[in-house]
Amino acid sequence: MSETADRYRRRADAFERTVVGVRPDQWANPSPCEKWTARDVVRHIVEMHAAMLHPLGRSLGPAPSMDEDPVAAFRAARADVEAILDDPALANRTSDTPTGPVTAEQHIDQVLSEDLPLHGWDLARATGQDDTIDPEDVERAWAGMRALPAELMEKFRTPGAFGPDVEVFGSEVKVAQDASSQDKLLAFIGRDPHWRP
């Protein structure tokens, strides 16, 4: 198993634990993502799994809908992505993406896998669960964000730049100089680290 597959599985495990921890009465809770409920956060993650399959001519397999069973929907979607990561021929297939040609494995690592800890925080904060992001993921994401060229960062902050209704990052939120690395990362991507439902 590759380092990329290991990283994805570790992050998907953490996200799944948070999904499982949502009580039935919490799915309509507001989240730190404006206009999204807790259910919408998981729906977005499931849709991002589908987006990783599209360049390979694949789609998500049969599964309960997000409205029926969010836990089962996520588990089915992650199984579809893990099947790609476990197949060297598929994992190494190059496709065109919004940021250029990359292998399926790279695409999953750079987009989907990076999304899991951040949206895991959104879901945890929306539902009153432990919202601590693995420090290794915080440092990796923070280093990656600071290395982005200014013009690409601006594109990420521009609503619709990657498609209709797609907003990657919000405007940076101000935090104290001595804020934790996690809070600085969240603020950089447009989250208020002190947000509560």
Model confidence pLDDT, tens digit, residues 86-118: 999 999 999 988 778 999 999 999 999 999 999
Average pLDDT over residues 39-44: 96
Q: What share of the chain is helix, strand, coil (3-state, %, to 5)?
A: 55, 5, 40
Model confidence pLDDT, tens digit, residues 123-180: 999 999 999 999 999 999 988 888 877 777 777 776 765 666 666 777 788 999 999 9
Cα 126 to Cα 180: distance, rounded to the nearest angstrom = 20
- Give the pLDDT confidence score for residue 175 in this predicted structure: 93
Range 106-112 contact pairs with CB under 8 angstroms and sequence separation of 24 or more: 106/4, 107/52, 107/55, 108/4, 108/8, 108/52, 108/81, 108/84, 109/4, 109/7, 109/8, 111/48, 111/51, 111/52, 112/8, 112/48, 112/49, 112/51, 112/52, 112/81
- Give the pLDDT confidence score for residue 98 in this predicted structure: 73
- Give the pLDDT confidence score for residue 197 in this predicted structure: 87
Residue 96, strand partner residues: 101
Model confidence pLDDT, tens digit, residues 67-87: 999 999 999 999 999 999 999
DSSP annotation of 179 reads: -
Residue with tokens 């730049």: 161
Tokens of 170: 């919000």
Q: Which domains does the chain have, with CATH numbers?
A: 1-132 (1.20.120.450), 133-197 (no CATH)
Cα 59 to Cα 164: distance, rounded to the nearest angstrom = 21
Cα 189 to Cα 4: distance, rounded to the nearest angstrom = 23
